[in-house]
Amino acid sequence: MTIVDAPPAAAAAADASVRWHPGGPFDLLQTVGILMRGNGDPSFAARQDGVWMAFTTPDGPVTLRLTAAGTGQDTRVDAQAWGPGAGSAIASVPALLGSGDDWSGFDDAAFHATLPRMVREARRRNLTVRLPTTGRVVDSLVPTILEQKVTTIEARRGYRYLMYRFGTAAPSAGRLPTSGPSGLLVAPTAAQWLAIPSWEWHKAGVGPQRSATVMRALRSAVALERLASLSAVEAGAKMQTIPGIGIWTAAEVVQRTHGCPDSIAVGDYHLASYVGYALTGRKTDDAGMIALLEPWRGHRQRVVRMLGLSGFRKPTFGPRMTIQDHRGH
């Protein structure tokens, strides 16, 4: 059981703050790191003085600082927030840190016994991981669309360009003994994304198909944000009614917005092959991956996360390919 209690006196300098107790083993960066779009993400910084994020809430922009201390049952996370969205951000902290992520079914002895040894060992070494729930659909959807059909490097380069051109400075944390990371930015709001001219998308290396998908989706931004209140399955299905958004994009989004333990990125250029080699020693395709993961339906994303944390690397053959990814929408 997780507990929220009064923040320490040191947090008084923030506009809002809270101390959260996960009630067991917990690793902050391992949990929220999935939200970072590469090491150069202007809205996310992992530093010695904590994990810093900047984003927009229904009440406005916010800078959020998370610091973890203690071990095991004594682990605690202090959250401090600055800006108009401070109250909303602090209210979202438990979900953001995985308070609703229940691993009990995965860890049940009977279920656990069905898992491959590699997955069981990875789980034993990574009891601290949780799946975060942000509830911020637009913030997850836009960079995910930018990752469609191109390499991750290309997509993140384009995202950084657009963030630096059209993002806004994060609310100041200057009242802290440390002033926070310099240059932290809040991603554009839906209205600001929609106002970006076509030539700026071109400069960012974002082709017309992807920019058109962003525009098409964000014209329904209010409806998109309402998807956070639905189940991951319902939210993913409704997302896919927007032309240009398919199963891969929806899965990548609900993994972050809903902490979905089951969604897998069907259509990913690398994932099916990786899962195939990890579980059978042979390459497979999407249909093969789905079949391999079917025994663990309900926890398939957990299985994939554990495979990723196992240290397994699929074999490489010859020089690295430089062609574009062919992930589905």
Q: Where are the beta strands (DSSP E) in the chain?
A: 3-5, 16-21, 44-47, 50-57, 60-69, 76-82, 168-169, 185-186
Contact 18, 90 (CB under 8 A): yes
DSSP 50-111: EEEEEEEETTEEEEEEEEEE--GGG-EEEEEEESTTHHHHHHTHHHHTTTT---HHHHSHHH
Domain residues of the chain, as ranges? 3-101
Residue 8's pLDDT is 56
Instruction: Provide CB contacts within 8 A for 212, sequence distance 6+.
Output: 244
pLDDT score at 324: 43
d(CA 147, CA 158): 9
Residues 210-265: tens digit of each pLDDT: 999 999 999 999 999 999 999 999 999 999 999 999 999 999 999 999 999 999 99
pLDDT digits (tens, 9 = 90+) for 187-213: 999 999 999 999 999 999 999 999 999
Q: Give the global pTM.
A: 0.89
Q: What is the pLDDT of residue 6?
A: 53
Residue 71, pLDDT score: 86
pLDDT of residue 321: 41
Q: What is the CATH number assigned to the segment(s) 3-101?
A: 3.30.310
Positions of the chain with pLDDT under 70 = 1-12, 173-180, 317-329
